[in-house]
Amino acid sequence: MSPSRNRKKGVHRARSRREITIAVAGAVGVVLGTLLMIWLLRPGPTGTEGTGGLMSRQPRAAWLVALTLAGLVAFTWWALRRQRRWQGKAVIVLASGWVILLLAAVLAGILWPGGLLRHTETVPEIDPGLLSPTSLPPALDSTVPGETTVPGETTAPPGTDTTVAATTPTTAGQ
């Protein structure tokens, strides 16, 4: 009879459940940490200020998130190292510690000197009724190519009222 057909022997496990649990928890922690860093540090669109991840928009809040997560990880590590002392009450100790740390983070956010969040100023809207034809820049095609103009002379395309024409700047003599 071949060894593979012997069903009375148990299967030898290469790793204990504790080792597998630690490996899975570590892998999940790395993935969650990576996702958090991507969310915090994502770039905004080119040329725009104040967009992107939380770290660029609200650095104080990002610091609070990072310190809170570091505290939660440190507390969890400490609690799991001492779980034999609590004899089955490790879940209660972990849950209560996490709640206390999260409440402390919320309290720190409320009492942060100068305020936790900074508010950027909004861009003022321009009323279209305030714009007039004289406030617009001169048209680029108002002069014929090769034609020279005298400084201070007003030019206008044919068929337009000269009272609304713009003054054409010149670069001659500069």
Pair (75, 33) in one structural domain: no
- Measure the CA–CA gap between 113 and 115, rounded to whole angstroms: 5
For residue 33, the enclosing domain spans 17-44+51-56
Pair (68, 99) in one structural domain: yes
Q: For residue 104, give the nearest of 135, 68, 54 by alpha carbon.
A: 68
- Measure the CA–CA gap between 140 and 146, rounded to whole angstroms: 13
Task: Catalogue the E-assigned strands of the chain.
Answer: none
- Measure the CA–CA gap between 20 and 140, rounded to whole angstroms: 72
Residue at 129 is within a domain: no
**pLDDT tens readout for residues 100-154:** 999 999 999 888 887 776 666 677 777 777 766 665 555 555 555 566 666 666 6
Residue 4, pLDDT score: 58
Please report which confidence band the pLDDT of residue 99 belongs to, taking 50, 70 and 90 as the band edges: very high
Residue 58: CB atoms within 10 Å = 19
Number of independent structural domains in the chain:
2
- Distances in Å between the Cα of 132 and the Cα atoms of 18, 128, 143, 151, 159 are 76, 9, 22, 24, 20
Residue at 11 is within a domain: no
Q: For residue 141, give the nearest of 165, 158, 157, 154 by alpha carbon.
A: 157
Residue at 86 is within a domain: yes
Q: Please report how many Cα atoms fall inside a 13 Å half-sphere around the Cα of residue 154, on the Cβ side.
A: 10
Pair (65, 99) in one structural domain: yes
**pLDDT tens readout for residues 60-96:** 888 888 899 999 989 988 888 877 777 778 788 889 9
Say yes or no to pLDDT of 3 above 90: no
Lowest-confidence segment of 10-19, 40-49, 96-105, 157-166 by average pLDDT: 157-166
Residue at 1 is within a domain: no
Q: Cβ(142)–Cβ(162) under 8 Å?
A: no
Pair (110, 67) in one structural domain: yes
Pair (37, 71) in one structural domain: no
Residue 87, pLDDT score: 73
Q: Hey, what amino acid is at 135?
A: S
pTM tops 0.85: no
Pair (110, 69) in one structural domain: yes
**pLDDT tens readout for residues 31-52:** 998 998 888 888 766 655 556 7
Last residue of a domain, one of 34, 56, 78: 56
